[in-house]
Structure formats: C-alpha cells, structure tokens
Amino acid sequence: MNSSDITLEAVSSISQIPAVDWDACATSGADAGELESLDTLASCAPSTPRTNTSALTYNPFISHAFFLALEKSNSACARTGWGPRHLIAKRDAAIVGVVPCYLKSHSQGEYVFDRGWADAYERAGGQYYPKLQASVPFTPATGPRLLIRDPADAHRIGQALAGGLIGLCDATDASSVHVTFARENEWKFLAEKGFLQRTDQQFHFHNPGYASFDDFLATLNSRHRKAIKRERRDALANGITIHALTGNDITDDAWDAFFAFYMETGSRKWGRPYLTRAFYSEIAATMARDVVLIMAKREGRWIAGAINFIGSDTLFGRHWGAVEHHPFLHFEVCYYQAIDFAIQRGLKTVEAGAQGEHK
C-alpha cells in the first residue's frame, strides 16, 4: 500500500516498532482531522472543550509501554482473540504515523457492544469475524487513534492511514474495520472517508480550577453537598483507611492485592477477566509513575482498590474490586478519591470509564 511518497505496512507485534518512534507519533499533538479555524471550533457542541491540538499531550493508554505490557503479558494476543496488526506509515524509511490495530475473533473487551451487528451480518450470510479493530484493548477511554508524527503534514498522513485501514481490512479478509473511542476530529475525518459514525455517552468530571475537594462541594446544592460528606464519612466508619499509591510507593503486596480484587470483580461481571497478573508486573516496571492505586485497608490488610492512569491533563479510572463490601466504599475509592487526586494534581478531567449514570 502506498500514497505518493508514503508507504504503509502492518506488523504483528508492538515490539517490532521502536518505542521512540511510536511515542513520537503518540505525543506529537498532530491530528489528521484538525479543525482549520476557531470559528469552526466554536461551532462544536458546548460540552466540547477547546483544546490546542498542536500542544504536546500525554495519554498513557496510547504509549508504547502500555501496548507492550498488553502484548508481552499475553493479555492482548492472537490466543485471546486480539491478534496485533499495527499499521505503520513511513516516509523515506522513517516512521511518520501509526495506528494501533488488532484482528479480532470476537467482540469482547471493546466496550462497544456490537454483537447485534455480528448476528445480523451472519444471518445475512456473511462472516463477521475476524474484524479489524483500531483501538486500545480493554480500555474505553477517548484518545487519538491515528497517531501522526508531523503536525505540518497531518492531513496527508491521516489520509494515507485511513486508506491503509481499508486496505489492511481487505488484506486480512476482515469483515470490517472499526475505530473506537477516537477523538471528535478523527471521528469527523473518518466519516469523510466513508466510515459510518457511532455515538455513545460517558460521564466525566471537569475541574475548572478547584483548589480543594471542598471547593468542588461548594458548587453543589446543600442536599448534595451534605449527602457526599455523609457518604465519605460512612465509607470509613469501620476503621477503613485510604491510601493513594503511585510510583515506587506501589509495593508488590499492593499489586497482588489489587489483582485479586480485579479477578474477583471480573469473574463476577465478565465471566473471564481480560488482564493477566503479568500485565500488572509490566506496568509496575515501566509505567508506575503513571499509575495511582487508590487502596482501602482495614485491620492491617488491603480490602478494596481501584487503578487509575495519569495523563497530562486527565485521570483515567479503570478497574475496581473488593474482598469486603462496606457502604459507600465503592464511590469513595473509585470516584471521590479520584476527583480529590485530580484536583490536587491540577488535572482538568476525570474519566471514570464506560457506562453508568451513577458516574
């Protein structure tokens, strides 16, 4: 596949792409569908924040280290239904763009729930699987999917990557190609290339610059403010203490305990948890400074916890679990502590994951 002086290829492992090249694409701020003027930007929905797309931003989920941990730990591999097929754009042998892609043999771990499409496709006589998925496995967090190194040539490289996705779909005999949890500009850009558009909703916390959690509470009416204060107090009523661990403060026993929480919750909700213990060992070795574990302890042992990943302006909440269940402890560990941490760090957004109006 090629477009002018840009050539495209696909590889079967993130390890085949140098981390320095992948991360240069992931953090460049280049956007294939970059809006051309502030007038156009102002026409977006009021809930869409204005962002400087040329600024360097860090999203831990699109880092080379995160994908490597998924693949090296056998969490995302062909055996689990996630066969890596990462798309690379090159110019003069230099990597100028990448798309994280997986050849999927099922619809699990995507958080888009397209089994209805699969059933309809197969009733019509087709074979829905394999399909090509441009996404971050097991991670319903918005972020760039067309990762482009050169902002000055983002549109042309983006066009090559969009065409490359269609070509890769054909080359792998996939039924379709799906780009999920992309940014709005990419969503619009790909629609112009013939991709069908899907929408869903999530619930995010936005921090306009609070100095403390109490500042946030002060914006609420009296009833909600009192309810949250009571919930936070009652969550700790049984001698429970909360510990926010990051970097070297996350000990092996905390990782072991959290994985046990993850397995317990995953086994109840999904039937088979997606991530292996080796994944968390990889994360501990390469990304611990990008992680905050909110852990609850009672009588000297960990009883509950939630894992969050720290971006340049966003805290991403992922998994939660517990071996003891106490009133309001879920909200305290997953939401109130995350909001408190984000305010202390000056982060602008908390994304608590997919689903749930309670968020």
146 & 14 share domain: yes
pLDDT at position 130: 97
Domain contains 346: yes
Residue 288, pLDDT above cutoff 50: yes
pLDDT at position 32: 82
39 & 15 share domain: yes
196 & 218 share domain: no
In this predicted model, what pLDDT tens digit does every residue of 192-219 receive, in sequence order? 999 999 998 889 999 999 999 999 999 9
CATH code of residue 267: 3.40.630.30
303 Cβ contact partners less than 8 Å away, ≥ 6 residues apart? 240, 296, 297, 322, 323, 324
147 & 289 share domain: no
How sure is the predictor about 34, in pLDDT bands with cuts at 50, 70 and 90?
low
Domain contains 126: yes
215 & 334 share domain: yes
pLDDT at position 212: 98
Burial 278-303 (b: 16+ CB within 10 A, else e): ebbbbbbebbbebbbbbbbbbeeebb
Residue 36, pLDDT above cutoff 60: no
Residue 155, pLDDT above cutoff 70: yes
pLDDT at position 253: 96
**Cα–Cα distance for residue pair 132/176, rounded to 1 Å:** 6
Number of domains making up the chain: 2
How sure is the predictor about 350, in pLDDT bands with cuts at 50, 70 and 90?
very high
* Structural domain boundaries, residue 258: 204-354
Structure-model confidence comparison of residues 80 and 44, the more confident one: 80
Q: What is the mean pLDDT of the chain?
A: 90
- Of 155, 176, 200, the last residue of a domain is 200
Which of 1-10, 286-295, 321-330 has the least mean pLDDT?
1-10
pLDDT at position 43: 23
Domain contains 290: yes
337 & 190 share domain: no
Q: Residue 49, Cβ neighbours under 10 Å: how many?
A: 10
In terms of Cβ atoms closer than 10 Å to its own Cβ (0-12, 13-18, 19+), residue 331 is: middle
37 & 145 share domain: yes
pLDDT at position 49: 31
Residue 1, pLDDT above cutoff 60: no
164 & 267 share domain: no
143 & 227 share domain: no
- Of 142, 175, 200, the last residue of a domain is 200
**Cα–Cα distance for residue pair 272/114, rounded to 1 Å:** 19
149 & 236 share domain: no
How sure is the predictor about 53, in pLDDT bands with cuts at 50, 70 and 90?
very low
Domain contains 285: yes
Domain contains 359: no
193 & 308 share domain: no
- Of 160, 181, 200, the last residue of a domain is 200
pLDDT at position 47: 29
SS3 58: coil
Checking DSSP bridges between strand 101-104 and strand 94-99, what pairing results, if any? unpaired
139 & 208 share domain: no
